[in-house]
């Protein structure tokens, strides 16, 4: 039996299985294979997880006397679909295919959860998180990762890649002040583009770029602190203005970094809205 392509497994199979299983929910302890996620992509991932989790119960279903009796009562076209579902579940490679697709999808689901989440402070982590997800994918699929990378890169460039993400990565001390940090050309270009858009005059841009260089080289106020620890405190302050006020009263020298973060975060809402529209509205 030839297995369906990834698109059919990700979208069509769970729906067909659910349609012929709806009267036998007792085998799944009252649970549904189809459960809504924040996007269609996430919903399909949840469905695939359910297929693996309940594969033994599904096997019992298609071999049960009640199912076979039910199939015999169907119209010819519906009966053909039911038999197709039965063959699909019976094939050992079906679960293998689903497990393989789950390995591919799982790292990307974590990125989508971050993008779709309510925490705007995640903006500073999206760029590096995507790099990490791709490396994770290469480790899981050393022979076939390139074709998946090509798909990811195309989607990333179309919907998720914004200069704000590279700038957020650069201005995130928890990343920037790691011992092995490396800022590629894309990060620096994106950061400079954001500064150019934020600062209207040439003098303001030059001042901002000078501040960026001090930040990057850990000069002045940036050299006298554990900035990774300070970033956690400032992130809390951005969420709670009262906390920010207390922090800056105790330590006014942290105001520069706080202002840089505060200018970037309001812009993230527009950047996050675009990929959510591309991925699809939440399903009912």
- Quote the pTM value: 0.53
What value, to the nearest 5°, has the Cα angle with vertex 238 and ends 232 and 240? 100
Say whether pLDDT at 227 is over 80.
no
The alpha helices in 54-75, defined as continuous H runs, are 55-62, 65-72
Q: Rounded to whole angstroms, how far apart are CA atoms 65 and 3?
A: 26
- Residue pLDDT, tens place only, 72-125: 888 888 888 888 888 888 888 888 888 888 888 887 777 777 666 555 556 677
Phi-psi region of 34 (alpha: psi -120 to 50; beta: other; left: phi over 0): beta
Say whether pLDDT at 58 is over 50.
yes
**Domain ranges (residues) in the chain:** 6-105, 117-279
Residue 27 binned pLDDT confidence (cut-offs 50, 70, 90): low
Burial class (CB in 10 A: 0-12, 13-18, 19+), 159: middle
Phi-psi region of 113 (alpha: psi -120 to 50; beta: other; left: phi over 0): alpha
Range among 14-23, 69-78, 112-121, 156-165 rated most confident: 69-78
Cβ-proximal residues to 208 (8 Å cutoff; 6+ apart), any chain: 195, 198, 199
Cβ-proximal residues to 265 (8 Å cutoff; 6+ apart), any chain: 120, 121, 123, 238
Mean of the pLDDT values across residues 49-72?
83
């Amino acid at each position: 039996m030839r297995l369906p392509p990834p698109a059919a497994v990700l979208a069509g199979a769970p729906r067909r299985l659910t349609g012929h299983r709806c009267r036998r929910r007792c085998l799944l302890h009252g649970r549904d294979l189809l459960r809504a996620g924040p996007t269609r992509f996430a919903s399909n991932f949840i469905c695939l997880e359910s297929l693996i989790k309940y594969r033994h119960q599904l096997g019992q279903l298609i071999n049960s006397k009640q199912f076979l009796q039910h199939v015999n009562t169907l119209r010819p076209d519906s009966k053909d679909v039911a038999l197709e579902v039965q063959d699909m579940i019976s094939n050992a490679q079906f679960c293998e295919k689903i497990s393989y697709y789950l390995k591919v999808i799982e790292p990307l689901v974590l990125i989508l959860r971050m993008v779709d989440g309510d925490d705007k402070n995640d903006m500073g982590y999206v760029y590096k998180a995507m790099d990490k997800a791709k490396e994770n994918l290469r480790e899981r699929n050393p022979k076939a990762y390139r074709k998946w990378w090509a798909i990811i890169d195309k989607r990333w460039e179309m919907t998720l890649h914004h200069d704000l993400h590279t700038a957020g990565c650069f201005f995130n001390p928890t990343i920037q002040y790691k011992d092995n940090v490396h800022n590629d050309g894309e990060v620096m270009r994106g950061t400079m583009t954001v500064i150019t858009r934020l600062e209207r005059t040439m003098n303001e841009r030059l001042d901002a770029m000078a501040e960026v260089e001090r930040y990057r080289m850990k000069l002045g106020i940036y050299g006298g602190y554990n900035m990774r620890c300070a970033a956690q405190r400032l992130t809390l302050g951005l969420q709670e203005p009262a906390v920010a006020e207390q922090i800056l009263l105790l330590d006014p020298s942290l105001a520069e970094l706080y202002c840089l973060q505060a200018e970037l975060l309001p812009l993230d809402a527009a950047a996050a809205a675009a990929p959510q529209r591309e991925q699809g509205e939440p399903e009912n």
